[in-house]
Structure 1
Amino acid sequence: MAYVFNMRHRWRRKLAQGSVSIIAVMSVSFATQALPVRVDRGLAVRQIQGEVTILRPRSTAPARSGDRLSEVGDGLRTGSRSAAVLDVDTDVGFLQVSERTELRIRTLENAADGGRITHLNVSRGQVRTQLRRFTHEGSEFEIETPAGISGVRGTEFGVSVQEDGKTGIATLSGAVETSAVGTSVPVPEGYQNLIWPGEPPTAPVPLRDDPGLEYDRTVSFENNTRVVTLRGRVDPVNTVFVDGAPQLVDRQGEFRLTRLATARLRVEVVVITPLGRQEVHEIYLL
């Protein structure tokens, strides 16, 4: 079942010679009624680092600064050690997209009261969102993951989506409402929670934003082969990669991997929080 994170937030022609009376009427009209201001809807690529790809419904291309995502189905994907910053509309706010992340536009509409409705899908990875407070009641910003929904009105929060769809949410400022399987749970400023696929959101706990890692290792024999096992422990809301491969993190924040025991065996463990804070841990297993 899909889960979503909703948010509500920041970031001429010439007249030919003709009737003088027509020009006069137009002058009065301009004086008494403001011209509508055109607002570009969508996401614009502000910065890129490393391998970043623009996704279209029927094509892909390397991303460049200034590229726009303005249609349903448009999206962006970041590779290993890559990142991007996207502007939301012209003045609503921005998104910081971490490595190994994929997002697409689900909905891009205007509300009846002039508000802006933006729904995104983040299928994997980590996104940090900073939006100004919306001035229209009809404005919406929503992020859907393989697990639930969150809604806000101007806030700074982060979402991390693990390989199994488990989603961590952290609210730095403002408030987020997470929803899944018919249950809504608010995540106020300074708190975080989790959504497991097929389950309601967990109760919020104080925000940690901690990419730290605890671990132990053991050496054993399996089928007459010497192997070493690494057991790691992180905050359960975090995403973990070992030598670039995503790891499944259980409810206690633990993950495990086994390697053949060879001399100078080393692994690189990358831990990323929902707010995008990242640490690289180099571990020698032998």
Structure 2
Amino acid sequence: MIKKILIFILIFFSILPTLAFSQDSSKIRVAIITYIKGNVYVKKLKSELWIPAKVRMELASGDKVWVHQNSQAILQFSDRSTLKLGSNTQLDILNLDYDKDTKKEVSIFKLLIGKIWTTIDRLLSQGERVEVQTPTAVAGVRGTEWIQEVLEDGTTKIWTLRGVVLFTAKDKTIEVKEGFKSIVKPGESPEEPSKITEIEKFDEEEKKEEKREEDKGEKERVTPSGAKSSQKGSIFANNSLDYGIFKKGDLTLAKLSFTPELALGPIRLGLDLSLYTNAEDVSYIQARVKYGELNLPWLGVRYGNIDNFNLGYGLIANRYSTYDMDGIVLRLENPKKGGIITLLPSPFNRDENITTTYALRLFYRPLNKLEVGLNGMFDLDSDISKRQGIVGIDAGYYFTRNLVVFATFAQRVIHDGISLEDSRVLSENGFALGLQMSVPIINSVLYLQALNYSDNFVPSYFNAYYEKNKILNLLPSIEESNNRISGAILGFDTNILNIISLGMRYESYNFKMPALYGQFNLKLGERLAISLSYEQDNISLPFQFINNNTIFVLNMVYPIAQNVDAILTVERTYDLYGNPKDVYYLTTKINL
């Protein structure tokens, strides 16, 4: 199997350069995307589809760029001039060519909504033309650096940082010189320029304005086509029909599922209506809310299967999952002061499929770059002997937006229903120091942790396998503490051109065998993807890539028709003799 997987990956890699970097030689002048943060989409001239933008993607006349919330993009031209697109921005490239008569460069854009910051590294020569149109005004540029913004009501603002900008609306043109700003409201002429006092003050006012907008909530949302839609009245739906075979051991069932996904403003809802049959009769019918989301700056709610829940910088909970059960994550937050995050079990879980795990985090920001938090995670099972509890405190300091240093402490307070009155429980604790660094230029995150904990304490006790291990009675039992264990965790996550993502994590401790985790994802389109995960606990020397502690999970999605996808999932484990054991899931998905 491994050989076949490697061959499959090599085939994908062989066609990757062609798919990722193909160029149209007929385009004389192009803009190149040199930086992407968050979600950025592009609509090419002869296409009706918005596709994810990629670094080094070329844009030409007729192309459109849509930058989502909390996202950014930078376009660069052949003369090293740059155009930075801010959050919630749509820019149309109307003309990026040469004038037929003068042979001079012509660059005409239309800013429908959002903000751009343009820098031209040279003075324009006679005949060269740079123009930015908006719904209410036209900026004819003779400057070398300026900021232009269009609000949702069409109001256009401009700040000239260097040079001169000609601002035109209602047959009136004014010069906005270096160090001045102006504004055009819908149906009106440009206001007379006023002086920009200082750029720092302008930035602070922008943040206050964004905060005011967040507090009152968005009343309208602008779609990529430029049309406005009310959150109260617009519903977006994505429907799919899945048909597949589920096989595990001797059990084989056919599954037919209808899984609609609905979006109403900040609210998202996913449903799962499934029918299982053994080909003779209907085994059972399942109807449930697959997930529900509400995401506002001050309030967030997530309902459904919870994955990757972390607490105490991973010392208490690391990638905790509710497994096959549903949970609720609730966030209440003042972005500048602090807030609360809670994890609750769903009240709709069936009796035979129920979780009793709760979590709470209270956090406060006494300084602009400092955040301190109090944490607690408890399993309040009705069986007292299965109850667990860990509390902790942590602090994180953000040296920059991309670099945080943190310290975290965790103390066990309940183990198998036994409280702190027992010295064994009192001795269970751990401490960690670490740093996490984001590298936007290569779209990667690096992290390092140093830990010290008692040998009867389990870091990341509430992990991805906690609920499963609880069902199988595999949780570690209470023990006496004999030693302190020291160790380190090193890992990284990276994303290349939004096509390849790779994550690796290595853990090493004294008195304990190391562990290695890996995740590889390859996405060549919305419907063509492959992912492969690798995990090995208790690594021994000499290192063996495959042993009885190794788990592989392979997932492949392949379009077999215009709106039909085949999905294959294979989970492979090994016994003590190296013999593989596989669980297969084969699904056919119909995109309605």
TM-score of the two chains, using structure 2 as the length reference: 0.31
| Aligned-residue RMSD, C-alpha | 3.1
* Residue pair 1:129, 1:158 contacting (<8 A) in 2 also: yes
Match of 1:68 in 2: 58
Match of 2:114 in 1: 125
Distance 2:154 2:54 in 1: 29
- 1:152-203, Cα deviation, whole Å (9 max, x unpaired): 2341000111110101100000110100010001100000010111111000
What one-letter code is carried by the residue in structure 2 that aligns with 1:174? G
Distance 1:240 1:156 in 2: 28
Match of 1:242 in 2: 214
- 1:81-130, Cα deviation, whole Å (9 max, x unpaired): 11011012x11501011111010111223122331111101100100000
Matched, 1:160 2:146: no
Distance 1:206 1:241 in 2: 25
2:187 to 198, 203, 209: 198
Matched, 1:143 2:132: yes
Deviation of the 1:80 alpha carbon? 1.2
Distance 1:55 1:81 in 2: 20
* Residue pair 1:113, 1:136 contacting (<8 A) in 2 also: no
* Residue pair 2:123, 2:144 contacting (<8 A) in 1 also: no
TM-score of the two chains, using structure 1 as the length reference: 0.61
* Residue pair 1:239, 1:247 contacting (<8 A) in 2 also: no
What one-letter code is carried by the residue in structure 1 that aligns with 2:152? E
Over 3 Å counting, the alpha-carbon distance change for 1:51 and 1:59 in structure 2 is same
Moved more, 122-131 or 153-162: 153-162
What one-letter code is carried by the residue in structure 2 that aligns with 1:165? G
Distance 2:106 2:44 in 1: 20
Match of 1:172 in 2: 161
Distance 1:140 1:191 in 2: 22
Distance 1:147 1:199 in 2: 8
Match of 1:85 in 2: 74
* Residue pair 2:27, 2:60 contacting (<8 A) in 1 also: no
Distance 1:165 1:138 in 2: 30
Distance 2:137 2:208 in 1: 25
Match of 1:253 in 2: none
**1:241 alignment partner, SS class:** helix
Match of 1:183 in 2: 172
Over 3 Å counting, the alpha-carbon distance change for 1:240 and 1:167 in structure 2 is farther
**2:51 alignment partner, SS class:** strand
- Relative contact order, CA 8 A, sep 6+: which one is greater? 1
Matched, 1:212 2:201: no
Unaligned runs of 5+ in 2: 1-25, 221-295, 299-333, 339-592
Deviation of the 1:233 alpha carbon? 7.6
Unaligned runs of 5+ in 1: 1-37, 215-231, 249-265, 269-279
Over 3 Å counting, the alpha-carbon distance change for 1:245 and 1:154 in structure 2 is same
Moved more, 117-126 or 153-162: 153-162
Distance 1:87 1:239 in 2: 30
- 1:123-152, Cα deviation, whole Å (9 max, x unpaired): 001000001334531111111111101112
Moved more, 98-107 or 204-213: 204-213
Match of 2:95 in 1: 107
* Residue pair 1:124, 1:160 contacting (<8 A) in 2 also: yes
Equivalent residue pairs, number = 197
**1:212 alignment partner, SS class:** helix
Distance 2:218 2:118 in 1: 23
Distance 1:207 1:146 in 2: 24
* Residue pair 1:241, 1:247 contacting (<8 A) in 2 also: no
Distance 2:129 2:192 in 1: 23
Distance 2:35 2:44 in 1: 19
Structure-to-structure mapping, 1:34-49, within 5 angstroms:
40-49=28-37
Q: Which has the larger radius of gyration?
A: 2
What one-letter code is carried by the residue in structure 2 that aligns with 1:212? E
Structure-to-structure mapping, 1:18-57, within 5 angstroms:
40-57=28-45
Match of 1:228 in 2: none
Identity score, percent: 26
Over 3 Å counting, the alpha-carbon distance change for 1:239 and 1:154 in structure 2 is farther
Distance 2:111 2:187 in 1: 17
Larger helix fraction of residues: 2
